Amino acid sequence: MKYFNLIWAALFRRKTRTLFTLLSVMAAFLLFGLLNSVREAFTSAGHSIEGASRMLTISKVSFTMELPQSLDMRIQSVPGVAAVTYANWFGGIYQDPKNFFANEAVAANFFDVYSDLELPPAERRAFVATRTGAVVGASLARRFHWKIGDKIPLQATIFPQKDGSNTWTFDLVGIYHVTNSREKQQEDAFFFNWKYFDEARQFGNGKVGWYIEKVAQPKDADRVAQAIDALSANSDHETKTQSEAAFQAAFASQLADIGLIVGSIMGAVFFTLVLLTGNTMAQAVRERIPELAILKTIGFSNRSILVLVLAESVLLLALGGAIGLGLADLAVSVIRAQGIPIPMLPVGLAIWLEGFGLMAFIGLLVGVLPARRGMRLRIVDALAGR
């Protein structure tokens, strides 16, 4: 700590240059925070403790092909299955297509299987009892200022009603919460009664989009999955059962390989950052050769000089990086609070730790050559300007 003043003063010896370099580092880590927040949202889905005991059964042919509702009872009879529920993608629009949110028709016991979606018992009972009842996540309710008792019309894009109308009106009977901050994006969904949906829709009656099973023992998941798929073997509706996490990962990869996209962008950004900060550090040390020689003259060892320059380099990265990640954290909070439909998780500890690791790594990487130069300089040559 006693060297901090010296390192800090050296860092801001050329204020304008340092400021611009800091802005570049900040921008890079802002991007890092935002992109990782999106990546985490895609990759962490289904990784909750609850999610570990849930499996999804979809059509083996395509996710969009529906399955007979009659499978429900048969799946329940598979040993190891604790509960079964099902759902259909609805794809309705509220007022404007840009107001996107997930909306699904779900079975009455849906919230038993998704116990991580916390719905008060009275509201759960109301959901089951109300034919046109709907339940929304707290975040979605905040976004559209909905409250219990509101009538919410959704415009169907796939399923018109039997009378030809595309307007489905639901009664909001419950608002659920998700306490785990990493799963908060699950609050951006709208669920309504599958029974009402199935009776009122024009086509596809008696079919469900997918089944969700809760297994008694997660360790038995593979065996249970095989047994469920065996129920429909050689039929016209063969199934594929997998863990919720595997399903979410596969679903996300259909949209895009988020990991590859994020990795590619960040690779390019950090490569540029290494060149930029490397140049800054090289210039900074080149200008300070006589000053480093003085430090050595008064007794600073070669190793002290090495550490001082490396510390300066890491400080440059850490300062800009921490501000950048802090801004990313703030931006994600604002985006989520505003209900802007971008899947994002808060910039959590893992991202911060990864970020600080990167700052230290890049700092050491760009500092090592200038630091070695400072360490190796001969005092008499440096003082003589050679």
Partner 1 sequence: MSPLVEIRNLSKVYTRGRQKIEVLHHVNLDIARGDFLALMGPSGSGKTTLLNLIGGLDSPTEGTLSVGGERIDRLGQSALARWRASNVGFVFQFYNLLPMLSATKNVELPLLLTKLPAAKRRSHAGVALELVGLADRAAHKPGELSGGQQQRVAIARAIVSDPTLLVCDEPTGDLDRQSAVEVLTLLQRLNRDHGKTVVMVTHDPKAAEYATHTLHLDKGTLVEGVVAAEAAAQAGS
Q: Site residues (CB under 8 A) for partner 1?
A: 2-3, 5-6, 9-10, 12-13, 290-291, 293-303, 378-380, 383
In the complex, what is the shortest distance from the CB of residue 311 to partner 1, in angstroms, rounded to a whole number? Answer: 13
Residue 29 vs residues 24, 33, 277, 312, 369: alpha-carbon distances, Å: 9, 6, 13, 18, 23
As a whole number of angstroms, the distance between CA 215 and CA 223 comes to 10
Q: Which is nearer to partner 1, 230 or 380 (CB)?
A: 380
Tokens (6 digits) for 319? 């300062």
The Cα diameter of the chain in Å comes to 95
As a whole number of angstroms, the distance between CA 189 and CA 104 comes to 8
Q: Which is nearer to partner 1, 9 or 216 (CB)?
A: 9
Q: Which is nearer to partner 1, 285 or 347 (CB)?
A: 285
As a whole number of angstroms, the distance between CA 153 and CA 147 comes to 14
Query: Using CB atoms within 10 A of its CB, is residue 292 exposed (0-12), middle (13-18) or buried (19+)?
Result: buried
In the complex, what is the shortest distance from the CB of residue 298 to partner 1, in angstroms, rounded to a whole number? Answer: 5
Q: Which is nearer to partner 1, 284 or 344 (CB)?
A: 284
Q: Which is nearer to partner 1, 233 or 298 (CB)?
A: 298
Q: Which is nearer to partner 1, 5 or 62 (CB)?
A: 5
In the complex, what is the shortest distance from the CB of residue 302 to partner 1, in angstroms, rounded to a whole number? Answer: 6
Which residue in 274, 267, 238, 247 sits closest to 359, CA to CA? 274
In the complex, what is the shortest distance from the CB of residue 322 to partner 1, in angstroms, rounded to a whole number? Answer: 22
In the complex, what is the shortest distance from the CB of residue 53 to partner 1, in angstroms, rounded to a whole number? Answer: 57
In the complex, what is the shortest distance from the CB of residue 9 to partner 1, in angstroms, rounded to a whole number? Answer: 4
In the complex, what is the shortest distance from the CB of residue 288 to partner 1, in angstroms, rounded to a whole number? Answer: 9
Q: Which is nearer to partner 1, 50 or 291 (CB)?
A: 291
Q: Which is nearer to partner 1, 219 or 303 (CB)?
A: 303
In the complex, what is the shortest distance from the CB of residue 379 to partner 1, in angstroms, rounded to a whole number? Answer: 5
